[in-house]
Amino acid sequence: MIEKAPQKDVVIKVRDLVVGFRDQNILNHLDLDVYRGEILGFVGGSGAGKSVLTRTIIGLLPRREGSIEVFGTDMLKANEEERRSIERRWGILFQQGALFSSLTVRENIQFPIREYLHLPERLLDEIVVAKLEMVGLHANVRDKFPSELSGGMTKRVALARALALDPEIVFLDEPTSGLDPIGAGDFDALIATLQQTLGLTVFMVTHDLDSLHTVCDRIAVLIDGKVIAAGPMETMLASEHPWMKSYFHGARSRAEARPARHGLNR
Amino acid sequence: MSEQSLLEGRADGDRLTLVGSGVWTAVEAAELERLIEAQTAASERPRTVVIDMARIEKFDTYGAWMLERLIRLFKERGTAAQVVALPANYQALVDEVHTVNFKNWPAPEEENKVLTTFESIGHTVYTVIHSLRAALDMIGAVMVALLRVLAHPRNFRLTSMVHHLDNVAWRAVPIILLITFLIGCIIAQQGIFHFRKFGADIYVVDMVGILVMREIGVLIVAIMVAGRSGSAFTAELGSMKMREEVDALRTMGFDPVEVLVLPRVLALIIGLPLLTFIGSLAALYGGGLVCWLYGGIDPDVFLQRLREAITIDHFKVGIIKAPFMAMVIGVVACVQGFEVKGSAESLGMQTTASVVESIFLVIVLDGIFAIFFASIGM
């Protein structure tokens, strides 16, 4: 589970996916593989359908054609029990955190645990503290309500909730948006650390070039409803595609100034 | 579960060897906890403890925490436990949970029953006073906003008010007509049924006319509007408050009362009398229909009798109350809307409070008006 398998083990396999609204197809025969134990950064212009793909994979949006296999099972063909067991194995960090506003931080983190496991109260409380400390928060936030948290804290608590059941895959929707550069850097480091300790597979939708440089093993680019390129940063930088050129070599990119770093201490 | 226990102990003199095996994950956490309790309770203070983790197949935070707890339990009893042969890839996880501490985990305080009772009474009194003050504040703010708008009519948000008037009055017409019509029918039917016993059928017309004009018409309509539009106002303003839209208005130099509250309250003040008027007509129509079909009173006779029974004063008494009730509903709804805090639960609570409070106040107001009109002889 933790060691990166030498042969590439595909955990999410998307084939020929078409998703659309009314007469417009947002995703047009899209293919994508996510390998076990990697951090995949997913980029694309605003409105290109990054969130649509994420939401389709996790089953929030219907699809018109194609197949999505997670851990080798197609969610559409799976029965109720199989679906629940797959849902148990992933965690999702929504862009705005999506913490339940009427529950405290502790109850938010315990919510999925209570749903799936029957654990003694004491263990539940200890796990909350362990999870909070893992995401770099002090245990004394546990009795606060989401409305009392700052933006960065909300993201961390939401991450703790996404990690509550020790999932194998986490979906992160713009995890560093709305954080200051220091906070965003910390969050990137946190994701890299957690990925290493827990052996996670991370599917990260992001616009943060720093995140792409520092933590992502591979980057997939979504343009015109298709993944037009997928590979490490070097491949992205070498690409001649005009959109990718302006994205990775633009004014805000640091590729020109500094050599690309790949991964945190790995 | 594998046949082998997740945690097995082998005592060898004062040396205890614990062998962990199998799946140490969230699913087995409850079982693991039980085994750990058993191991640490049973053994009689071994000198050294060795925990052999070589046969672990799967491991996650829960497993790591269980291992950590096992070590801590032995440590509390003065025995150092040593972990051996832990697969290297799990080491990071074990190190991670090793730093977890519960020093900042205060025990829940014992509650004093008497004190908490007094505390909750105090809270209730404070809440009542607070909501009264908030309502007074809001009435004042609406008045100020109204005066400001009167001084600068161009600042008035006419479009917004018309939009709310459409929602509050026009779209409410079908349901108001239906409800008041049915209420008129029911009053007439009950009246005929009981008055017939002493041959006073015709007085049903007086009863329906006076009751509908003075009380029932305006009261039913006000209660309907409180439930229909008051709740909507609270929910709208509450979610705007939650998403900082109200703060955004304020920072742009707008007065939220002028922009949000005034058009809504004015729409209610205009809409409620109109609805009361058509509601009263529908109730009279329903009453007349029942008198004809059920009581055998011809429409001509009904109208003749109605003309004699009610005067313009009865109509005035009903319709004068309408704008005041509208004001109460609007102000309560907006106060409650601005009271919404960050959570979805608080939005629900304030919406409930808005409807309950405005219906209660509408009825209280009706009682006060009854005393007032009686004393001025209307």
Instruction: Place A263 in a pLDDT band, splitting at 50, 70 and 90.
Output: very low
Q: Name the helix (H) or strand (E) containing A68.
A: strand A65-70
Res A84: pLDDT: 80
Determine the Cα–Cα distance for residues A92 and A170; give it in Å rounded to an integer: 6
Res B353: pLDDT: 93
**Nearest-CA distance from B31 to chain A in Å?**
9
* Cβ neighbours of A140 in B, within 8 Å: 104
Which residues, 6 or more positions from B371, have their beta carbon under 8 angstroms from its beta carbon? none
Determine the Cα–Cα distance for residues A256 and A235; give it in Å rounded to an integer: 15
Res A214: pLDDT: 81
* Cβ neighbours of A6 in B, within 8 Å: none
Which residues, 6 or more positions from A225, have their beta carbon under 8 angstroms from its beta carbon? A25, A26, A27, A28, A29, A30, A48, A49
CB contact under 8 A, A119 and B92: no
Instruction: Place A5 in a pLDDT band, splitting at 50, 70 and 90.
Output: very low
Res A264: pLDDT: 46
Amino acid at A134: M
**ipTM for the predicted complex:** 0.70
Question: Which residue in A102, A117, A118 is closest to B345 by CB distance?
Answer: A102
The list of chain B residues with pLDDT below 50 reads: 1-2
Res B226: pLDDT: 95
Of A220-224, A241-245, B46-50, highest mean pLDDT: A220-224
Res B163: pLDDT: 94
Res A29: pLDDT: 83
SS3 state at A142:
coil
Residue to test with chain B: of A99, A148, A166, most B Cβ within 10 A: A166
B224-271 pLDDT tens trace: 999 999 999 999 999 999 888 888 888 888 889 999 999 999 999 999
Res B55: pLDDT: 78
* Cβ neighbours of A146 in B, within 8 Å: 342-343
Token representation of residue B323 = 């704008």
CB contact under 8 A, A146 and B97: no
Residues on chain B bordering chain A, Cβ-to-Cβ distance under 8 angstroms = 25-27, 29-30, 33, 58-62, 65, 69, 89-90, 92-93, 96-97, 99-100, 102, 104-105, 341-346
Res B50: pLDDT: 81
Res B231: pLDDT: 95
Share of chain A above pLDDT 70, in %: 91
Res A7: pLDDT: 58
* Contact between residue B297 and residue B291 where contact means Cβ atoms under 8 Å apart: yes
Residue to test with chain B: of A89, A100, A108, A129, most B Cβ within 10 A: A129
CB contact under 8 A, B33 and A123: yes
Lowest mean per-residue pLDDT among A13-27, A210-224, B89-103: B89-103
Res B302: pLDDT: 94
CB contact under 8 A, A131 and B104: no
Res A251: pLDDT: 67
* Cβ neighbours of B341 in A, within 8 Å: 147
Question: Which residue in B33, B96, B344 is closest to A197 by CB distance?
Answer: B96
* CA atoms in the 13 A half-sphere facing the CB of B127: 11
Question: Which residue in A116, A134, A147 is closest to B96 by CB distance?
Answer: A134
* Cβ neighbours of A138 in B, within 8 Å: 104
Q: How many CB pairs under 8 A join A and B?
A: 78
Res B191: pLDDT: 93
Res B2: pLDDT: 44
SS3 state at A215:
coil
CB contact under 8 A, A131 and B90: no
Of A44-53, A224-233, B155-164, highest mean pLDDT: B155-164
* Cβ neighbours of B60 in A, within 8 Å: 166, 198
CB contact under 8 A, A145 and B26: no
**Positions of E strands within chain B:** 7-12, 15-24, 48-59, 81-84
Res B176: pLDDT: 96
B197 phi, psi to nearest 5 deg: -60, -35
Mean model confidence pLDDT for chain A? 79
Q: Hey, how many other C-beta atoms are within 10 angstroms of the C-beta on A204? A: 26
Res B77: pLDDT: 77
Angle at B34 between CA B29 and CA B40, to 5 degrees: 120
* C-alpha dihedral sign at B107, A114, A168, B2: positive
Question: Which residue in A120, A123, A129 is closest to B100 by CB distance?
Answer: A129
Which residues, 6 or more positions from A160, have their beta carbon under 8 angstroms from its beta carbon? A109, A131, A132, A134, A135, A137
CB contact under 8 A, B97 and A145: no
Summarize the confidence of residues A146-172 as an average pLDDT: 85
Res A117: pLDDT: 80
B104-147 pLDDT tens trace: 555 666 778 899 999 999 999 998 898 889 989 999 999 999 99
